[in-house]
Structures are given as structure tokens and as C-alpha cells.
Amino acid sequence: MQPQSLLRYLPRSLYALLTLAFVLSFLLTLWIVFYFPVYTDEIFWKLMIARLETDHGKLVYIFAQCSEGQWIDAPLTWYPAMSINSWLYEDAGHPWRLRVHGWFFFLVLLTLWTCLLKHRTGLRVIDAFLAVSAFLSVGVLPFLLVYARPEQPLLLLLTLSLLVTLYRAPANRLSWLIGLLVVLSFALVAMLLAGIHPKGMFLFPVLLVLAWRQLKSWPLLVLLGLVLGWTAYDTSQVWQLRTTCPEFPGLMSTLSGLTLKPDVLLSKPLTFIQQGWSNALDFGAYVRSLNFQEQYVVDWLPARKGGVISTQASSVANILLWIPLLVAVLVIASNWFFDRRPRGRVDLLLFFSILLSLASIVVLQTQKNFYEVSIVWPLVLLLAIFSFGRPVSESSRGRVRIIIAVLMVVALLSGILREERFGEFVPGWRQARLQQVEMVDRQNQGLRDFARKECGIEGSAQRLVLDKDTYQAFWAHEQPIFLDYAAGWWAAESNVRETFRKRRVQGLVALCANIPEADRSRAIEFGRYCCMSADALR
């Protein structure tokens, strides 16, 4: 069937109406996720790499009960990432800024991916935007794409590298001086990727391909490879310390079980292959992370309180979430098996380097946490974009329009469900945001005054035990200890009081409900908050 006959079932007026409905739904989604509360994990990840000046180059570690990894020196290759993150996030007195930054960077990524798709396919800007935004608007994915977690800056750095390199490819071989500057630029990007999160090392293959396209010089490429190796070594050493906790085997087993370590390939190749294959087969866990659920793990989204749309409707919608993934696979397969136009060597290398990066994450990630779909799904999008070796021909534009329409239908259904499921919470989220913006400075000062007066916690105190609700008031104190990880589930094997003694803590300020029950009776209350002096903790 020709595209012209297919388009009879999708007249321009219907396509325009569908476009309008989707765009309105997408704008409503942007409004909802703008007020989405900051999640605990967002705060803690920023803390670990955003305290360069406050902690004088030392690295914060969240598991105070472990001896390894406490207050180690930041490796030199991490300084670029820590410097930028400290500039953006070291002042944690206004945590709502995390969501504003995450929301803004999502819009930047959306714009960059639209530019990439237009550049690779020759589509109109509006069609490229509709395809990208619809692909990213399924299920609860928009909530995850505004997370101020490491996945977002990793994607931002990767996408900027792709765009700059593709648009600014040199016609001739570079001089040695310019070549060295290019090597330094890619080395800086690599250090930023690794310093933000160890997953950044999985994106190194793409950097090498982009560098080769720019440099066309094996000596310079080898030099860059050495810098990447140095960066990878620094990062692996830090994270080896951070996953070593011999005094608490249960915690160490949990931390080690999160990922399949690459060195297992050399020591136990059969085990590596079996576990890696099992991890790859669990790819569906990423799609399930997008599902509309009655209740979400660790309550990162609110539980259902009822609604007009039935559970069966949500189940049907969750099945439809597979359609965008199927569309991406079909687009990739069609471009590879039916498009007979020749491809350039760089196009081939770029596609397979992105595929290798995606496969590395999927195969090596044993514990597929819900937020990791925020990097896997965009990588699938990039894979589909770079499966296009040439602009889309005029005869294929009709098929592309039908694909975009299918994506918009799925995204529109998801948008309706998001509004029905979470719309009732938005007024409360918005009110809480406005109050936080207006009152946070006064509240933070009140907490500091209370802690100083009642518990003797002065401005020079170090090693304070804090939770996510009080860190914003005491972020400037050196070497904080996070109650969320020093107590509770993560500290099930340890003695909390012994941990506090071992770390020589000088006070505790937290929500009263978060303090271990055995210690709560000795805490001094201030509304919802409590403090404990250094003596009371010993």
C-alpha cells in the first residue's frame, strides 16, 4: 500500500487536530512536572559531588557506618565535574531550585534532540519536535526526565558533543595545536561524564568515535585514549571504595549486587555471560518503570486515591507503553534492512557506539532502578535517530507522518492518565513550592537558631547528622552525615549509636519522625523538627 492511500485514513485536518490535542496535553504535562516535589535521591546525589569548597576537596559518602570511602580526597579527574556542580548546587538552601534546573535542562535536551532528528532526517522542525516529545511523553517518564539526578547531565553532555561534532566537522586534517585543543576538549567532557556518575564511562565509546571524526590522527586519538583510561581508573578506584564495607557483609552484598562488574569477564567469563544475558533479558523492567501503578516504590510518586479511570484502563495504557519502543525498533530495522543507500563509515561507527553504550548499561546493570529508564529511553531515541544514514526521501514522508501520529496517540492517552492520576496533587505541590520560595530563608534561620540555643550546635560544628529536610539549613557545615542512610533500612546491621560515636558527630537536626525511636525521647522538639546535642548522641 502506497503512503498516499494510507494518508486517506489520516487526513490533514485529523492530523492537525491530533497535533493540537497532543501539544496541549504536553504543555499540561510540563506544568505538572514543574511543581513535582524534589525526591530524596536528587538531593543526596548533588551532595556527593557539589561540596568541593565546603569540604576542601574531600568526598562526602552517604554510608557513615562503613570505614572505607569516608572523606577520601577527590581524584584530579573529578575536579571539573565537582567544580561545576558546586557552582550550581553547593548552596542547598533552596532545594526547589533542583526541580527548576531539572525542568529547564529537560527543555534544553528536548530542543537538542529535535535538532538532531531534523539534522539526520531532513524533517520539518514541527514534525521532529512532535516525534521526540511524543516518544518522551509516555507513562510517568516526564516525571523522571526532570529529575536532577546524574542521568540528566550525562545526556546533556553526550547530546551537546554529538551536535557540536556533527555540525562542525573539519574538512581537512587539523594542525597539531588545534588537534591538542580538541583532545583537551574531549578529555574535559570525559572527566565530566565520569565525575558525574560511573555510568558516564559507558558513553566513552561515543566520545572516541566523535574524536576520531574530528582528529583523523591516530597519535592524538591514542593520547585521548590514555586520558580516558586515567579517568576510568580514578573513577573505578573511588567507587570500589564506596562499595566496600567488610564490617557489614549484608550492605556490601547489596551494593555489589547492583551491577555486574566488568572485571568478572576476566576472572569468571561464564558467570559474566550468564549474568549479563539475564540482565539483558530483564530489559522490560525499564518499560515497567513507566507504568501507572497503584503505589510506587519508595513513594517517589503518590499512591492512587481513586479516580474515574479504572484499574483496567491503566493496565491497558501500560501495555500501550510498549508501542513507542516497538516503533523505535521498527524504525531502526527499516533503516538498516530496507534503506539501500550507502552509509558513511562515521555513521556506522556512531550508531554502533551508541548501541554499545546502551548495551553496557543494560547488561551491566543488575538492579534496574526505576529512575534509570531516564537514560535508557533517551538512548533508544538517539539510536533511532542515528539509524538514519540519509535524509528521509519525499516518498517516505507519509510513513513518517503515520509513525508520528501513532506516537502522539499513545502520548495523548498517557497525558490523560497523568492528569487523572496526579492532577489532584498539583495544587498542593504548587502551594508547597510557593511557600518554600517565600519562607525557606526564614525557616532555615529559625532551625539554625533553635539548634544553637537548645542543642549547642554552633555555626562551626562539623559532622552534623541531617536528613533531606534539614540539610538545606545546615549545608555549610563540614562533613555532614545523612540520617536516611546512617539509620533505617540501610543500617539494619549496624548500631546507630556506635556509628555516631565512631564518626564523632557534633549534633543532630532532623524531622522528629526520622530519628530512631530509641533516641527520640532525648531529642528536643521544635514543631516537626528535633535536635540532639553531641553529648546526647554518645
The span from the CA of 424 to the CA of 124, in Å, is 37
The confidence band for 456, taking pLDDT boundaries of 50, 70 and 90, is very high
Asked if residues 484 and 510 have their Cβ atoms less than 8 Å apart, the reply is no
The confidence band for 340, taking pLDDT boundaries of 50, 70 and 90, is low
Percent of the chain at pLDDT > 90 equals 58
Q: What is the mean pLDDT of residues 344-355?
A: 90
Q: What is the mean pLDDT of residues 157-168?
A: 89
Q: Please report the pLDDT score of residue 342 as a whole number.
A: 65
> What are the grid coordinates assigned to 133, written together?
516529545
The span from the CA of 223 to the CA of 225, in Å, is 5
- Nearest CA to 123 out of 328, 410, 385 is that of 385
Q: What is the mean pLDDT of residues 422-431?
A: 92
The yes-or-no verdict on residue 273 having pLDDT over 70 is yes
> What are the grid coordinates assigned to 248, written together?
557489614
Q: How many CB atoms lie within 10 A of CB 255?
A: 19
- Nearest CA to 470 out of 519, 526, 432 is that of 526
- Nearest CA to 129 out of 389, 354, 408 is that of 408
For 510-531, give one letter per residue: b (16+ CB within 10 A) or e. Answer: beeebbeeebeeebbebeebbb
- Degrees (nearest 5) of the Cα angle 94, 149, 245? 105
- With 0-12 / 13-18 / 19 or more C-beta atoms within 10 angstroms meaning exposed / middle / buried, residue 9 is exposed
- Give the tens place of pLDDT for each residue, 241-267: 888 888 888 888 888 888 888 888 888
Per the model's pLDDT, the better-predicted residue between 352 and 297 turns out to be 352
**Residue for cell digits 493540537?**
20
To the nearest whole number, what is the mean pLDDT of the chain? 89
- Give the tens place of pLDDT for each residue, 12-46: 788 889 999 999 999 999 999 999 999 888 888 88
φ/ψ of 393, rounded to 5, equals -70, 160
Q: What is the mean pLDDT of residues 518-536?
A: 91
- Give the tens place of pLDDT for each residue, 92-135: 888 899 999 999 999 999 999 999 999 999 999 999 999 999 99
Q: How many CB atoms lie within 10 A of CB 302?
A: 15
The confidence band for 426, taking pLDDT boundaries of 50, 70 and 90, is very high
**Which of 38-42, 75-79, 308-312, 496-500 shows the lowest per-residue confidence on average (mean pLDDT)?**
308-312
Q: Please report the pLDDT score of residue 208 as a whole number.
A: 95
Q: Please report the pLDDT score of residue 128 as a whole number.
A: 96
- Which residues on neighbouring strands pair with residue 482, listed in sequence order? 466
The confidence band for 396, taking pLDDT boundaries of 50, 70 and 90, is confident
The span from the CA of 166 to the CA of 348, in Å, is 14
